[in-house]
Chain A
Amino acid sequence: MSSRESRPRAGGAGEGEPSIVFRWDLDKTYLRTEFESLRKLVLIPFEAATEKVHLPGVPQLMGGLRRAALARGDRPFVFFLSASPPQIGAEIRKKLALDGIEYDGIVFKDQLRNLVRGRFRSMREQVGYKLGELLRGRRDGPRAREVLFGDDWESDPVIYSLYADVLAGRLGGDRLGSLLDRLGVERDAIRRVDGIARELAGDGPADDVVRIYINLERRTPPGRFKPFGPRLVPAFNYFQTALSLYEVGVLDAVGLGEVARALHERGWSGERLRNSLDDLVRRRHLSPGTADRAILVLHRDGQDLQSASERTLGARAVSAMLRLRRRMARSQPAPPETEPVDWEALVDHWVAHRSG
């Protein structure tokens, strides 16, 4: 059960108009919500908007994504999907306004109604709720390329990946039902998801989810997300997310620079940002060519991301090193854009190891 708010804005996507959808989780993805202890959990509803803290670089990333989309001629849509109760909605909306975030819809989970009706399992269950809401949002909203943002606290990786494969026509019917059942989704939620999935399937498959970003707020080992394939990018900070979005052309150089600057202002040194960039390259979520381009772009923007060795070597040696890296990058086979997910194995593994 959910509480939805749509914000119809002037100039909604017209038929055939190119657009792009950004779907965000709120807690641990946009906000640094602390619910590790019961005390902190209890305090959340009483937090004022001014007390809520966003994760470093998120407002700048959202602003950059919007501007880049408009510059490309895409109409950007931003939706929030939260498992928090609607009772905190007023302060959340104020917080988004304070951060200058323009959005098109926000969905909360109506926990009070679940409580009153004695649906205790529904209060805990996330997969059925979020997947249902994502599919409903797709059915009722724009048909467009999508970028999804979540975190590693609960089940965002599996929910978002299921959603992407349902849209792409790779999952559906009994197989989807069986997977959801193994994930502990209630029967009526499975029926609801299945119904909307069938409606969407009528439009034909759409491999529209460009990337899924999982903010590693819990520092979950990134290797655990390999079974989800290269579409899902586990990111340790929003600079890594921005770099990946820059590579796929959804964020431009200006937006990348703004995210880097936001982190820099919050205490990230150039070396820390550089280490983040190199980490993404080593994990093969960023090509060495894009990495070099990003370094140059940020350098022109007055942000130094040279490593200690590059500073020691000097400009000529760095140019030589970059040339070598580009040559090495050309000899490396590019990772496949999409790899089929072995859903049965993944769900078994997820159920055995999930913590949320």
Chain B
Amino acid sequence: MPRIAVDAMGGDFAPDEVVKGVAKVSLESGIEVVLVGDSARIQALLDEGPYDPELISVRHCASAIGMADDPHEALRGKRDASIAVAARMVADGEADALVTAGNTGAAVLCAARNFKLIRGVRRAALASVYPRETELPGQDVFGLLLDVGATIRCEAAELAQFAIMGSAYARRVSRQPSPRVGLLNMGREEGKGGDVLVEAHRMMRALPSIHFVGNVEGSDVATGRADVVVAEGLLGNVVLKLLEGIGEAASHLASQAAHDSWRVRLGMAMLAPGIEKVRDMTDFGTYGGAPILGFEHLCIKAHGRSSARAIANAVKVAAKAVRDRVADEIAEAVAGIR
């Protein structure tokens, strides 16, 4: 069974939800977890609920990096921060993968400082999963978008590698034998988007190991046209935040409307079971987290607001990715095009 190092102190609701999530996963699976953080606080939280001590170990470290901290500054000042210690444990072979719901910048930085890039990979990519409409049988209700912030600008070859990495991950973790890969652009035509995107389109179309469906526009992101959407970090991050923002705005507007009118309240009450079903289907907690791809070791970045359920699922995703040898799959795919 894989051993997963979990940054117990990272996340808006850490360590409480992180520890609860790990306790939950210890009772549901045989995955071994190392909780990295303040040992006394971790044990006090474990004591409050059921857990399997045989599957949980604790690595004490006194400091942690806050969600609002500058990652460079914080890591310089806190070399024994939980995320840094957890990443070193993975790099040293004490654990097989890292899960954190903490500061995204610090997670990417720790991965970059401690993990080696897969041979041939030029840059790592931070992926994110998002709920979307499905169009084809067997499609996952979550799409994979990468990069969402590990880079700002990229070269065409780097985008092509992101396509390979995202496709390999989706193939293994989402169990889609041939995930559809799209390049985020301002139009579907292959000549759109400037030199880098045109060249990236040409390279991706020539890749035999991926199922490239061409350019996808912003309106395609939330549909089933592509299972893996590739973008430069700047653009990917904007799209991700836009999706989150729209979701929050829609929820806020609905609440406001319900507050102002009893008719809306009544209508929403009648729709509640359906809304709840959609919310359950699209809850990011179901997926747990998304990977930082391109390194020899895997890091799953869970949402900062992760609940215990999301953390438990992030640990399961990490274990699955280790078991299914996602890094090896990426290495083979990258080697295949060199």
Contact = CB atoms under 8 A, between A and B. Distances in A.
Interface of A: 219-223, 226, 236-237, 240, 268, 271-276, 278-279, 282-283, 307-309, 312
Interface in B34-78: 34, 39, 43-44, 47-59
B92 interface: yes
20 contacts: A219-B27, A221-B47, A221-B50, A223-B48, A236-B52, A236-B53, A236-B54, A240-B53, A271-B32, A272-B54, A272-B55, A275-B56, A276-B53, A278-B57, A278-B58, A283-B43, A307-B57, A308-B34, A309-B94, A312-B94
B23 to A, nearest CB: 9
A56 to B, nearest CB: 12
A309 B59 contact: yes
A313 B140 CA distance: 42
A196 B92 CA distance: 62
Contacts of B55: 272, 275
A221 B58 contact: no
B92 A275 contact: no
A219 B51 CA distance: 7
Interface string B229-242: 00000000000000
A312 B52 contact: no
A283 B92 CA distance: 28
A272 B30 CA distance: 11
Nearest to A268: B54
Contacts of A272: 54-55
B93 A312 contact: yes
Nearest to B53: A279
Contacts of A219: 27, 50-52
Query: What's the dominant secondary structure at chain B's contact region?
Result: mixed
Contacts of A273: 54
B47 A223 contact: yes
A309 B94 CA distance: 5
A279 B56 contact: yes
B169 to A, nearest CB: 26
A236 to B, nearest CB: 5
Instruction: Please give me the 6 A-B residue pairs with the lowest Cβ-Cβ distance, nearest first.
Output: A223-B47, A279-B53, A272-B54, A219-B50, A282-B43, A308-B94
Contacts of A309: 59, 89, 92, 94
A275 B57 contact: yes
A33 to B, nearest CB: 20
Nearest to B23: A221
Contacts of A223: 44, 47-48
Query: What's the dominant secondary structure at chain A's contact region?
Result: helix
Nearest to A273: B54
B95 interface: yes
Which of A223, A236, A273, A312 is packed against the most chain B CB atoms within 10 Å?
Answer: A223
A222 B53 CA distance: 11
A282 B39 contact: yes
A222 B47 contact: yes
Contacts of B54: 236-237, 268, 272-273, 275-276
Contacts of B50: 219-221
B180 interface: no
Given A268-B54, A272-B55, A221 B49 contact: yes
A185 B312 CA distance: 42
Contacts of A308: 3, 34, 93-95
A59 B197 CA distance: 70
A307 B59 CA distance: 11
B20 to A, nearest CB: 11
Contacts of A271: 32, 57
Contacts of B51: 219, 221
Nearest to B93: A312
B85 to A, nearest CB: 10
Contacts of A283: 43, 47
A222 B58 CA distance: 17
A25 to B, nearest CB: 21
A276 B55 CA distance: 8
A107 B176 CA distance: 61
A226 B39 CA distance: 18
A221 B44 CA distance: 11
Which of B27, B34, B54, B57 is packed against the most chain A CB atoms within 10 Å?
Answer: B54
B79 to A, nearest CB: 17
Nearest to A269: B54
A299 B92 CA distance: 24
Nearest to B30: A272
A226 B48 CA distance: 11
B248 to A, nearest CB: 35
A239 to B, nearest CB: 9
Nearest to B40: A282
B283 to A, nearest CB: 26
Nearest to B3: A308
Given A275-B55, A276-B54, 14 more contacts: A219-B27, A219-B51, A220-B50, A221-B49, A223-B47, A223-B48, A226-B47, A240-B53, A268-B54, A275-B57, A283-B47, A307-B57, A309-B92, A312-B92
A276 B49 CA distance: 16
A223 B19 CA distance: 15
Nearest to A219: B50
Contacts of B39: 282
A279 B52 CA distance: 10
A220 B50 CA distance: 6
A220 B55 CA distance: 16
Nearest to A240: B53
A22 to B, nearest CB: 24
A272 B52 CA distance: 10
Nearest to A239: B54
Contacts of B34: 308
Interface string B12-37: 00000000000000010000101000
Nearest to A222: B47
